Amino acid sequence: MNKAIFIDRDGVINQLVSRDGGKYSPRLVIDFQIFPFVPGAIKQIREAGYLAVVVTNQPDISRGLLKPDVLDEMHQLLRAVCQVDAIYVCPHDDSDNCLCRKPLPGMLLQAATDLSIDISSSWMIGDRDSDIQAGQKAGCRNILIGTQHRQYGIPDKSNPILSKNLMSAASIISNTLEQ
């Protein structure tokens, strides 16, 4: 069985885009800016013996605001810059009631089946409560990217580890292996 690091995309791998007074997922390839530390973090994850699996909600597909071919171009760029092993996308909006949209664990469980992943030896890294909830429902350990503690509506023992960014999260996981 393989072990994996499931990684949210927007806000963890790439920068969010300022639009309408908020921060959102990019809709244009030119706006898809991968953080400079991400290739090194992915390399560190892979060198530690984990698969690097991106799991991303992309509801702008369902909303007609992001074209699937543009999303494919973004992911081709991601694969060219970072050696991720797989990318799983939920193109649905909340109202679609699918099983793959985080906070449900569908993408993680599908990846586990497809790639022979032992979920209990795996991690979920994300910047939103929904990422952490998906990881918890799947049975992963979890790292929340960001500096603010949030409330989860889950038992305290399940609260995620906090980390500044993907590189520091990769270091936390590497250090956990060394202990």
Which residue range forms the structural domain that includes residue 72?
A: 7-49+57-83+91-97+106-116
Full DSSP string of 111-167: HHHHHTB-GGG-EEEESSHHHHHHHHHHT-EEEEESSS----SS-GGGPPEEESSHH
How many domains, the chain?
1
Answer whether residue 151 is part of any domain. Answer: no
Answer whether residue 30 is part of any domain. Answer: yes
CATH of the domain at 31: 3.40.50.1000
Q: Hey, what's the torsion of the CAs at 99, 38, 170, 24, to 10 degrees?
A: -40
Answer whether residue 147 is part of any domain. Answer: no
pLDDT, tens digit only, all 179 positions of the chain: 999 999 999 999 999 999 899 899 999 999 999 999 999 999 999 999 999 999 999 999 999 999 999 999 999 999 999 999 999 999 999 999 999 999 999 999 999 999 999 999 999 999 999 999 999 999 999 999 985 545 444 444 456 788 899 999 999 998 876 55
Answer whether residue 132 is part of any domain. Answer: no
Phi then psi dihedrals of residue 126, to 5 deg:
-155, 170
Residues recognised as catalytic: 8, 10
> Are 166 and 41 contacting, i.e. CB atoms less than 8 angstroms apart?
yes
Q: What is the pLDDT of residue 34?
A: 98
Answer whether residue 13 is part of any domain. Answer: yes
Answer whether residue 1 is part of any domain. Answer: no
The structure tokens 């494919």 sit at 72
Answer whether residue 35 is part of any domain. Answer: yes
Q: What is the pLDDT of residue 138?
A: 97
Answer whether residue 29 is part of any domain. Answer: yes
Cα-to-chain-centroid distance, residue 92: 16
Bridge partners (DSSP) listed for residue 50: 3
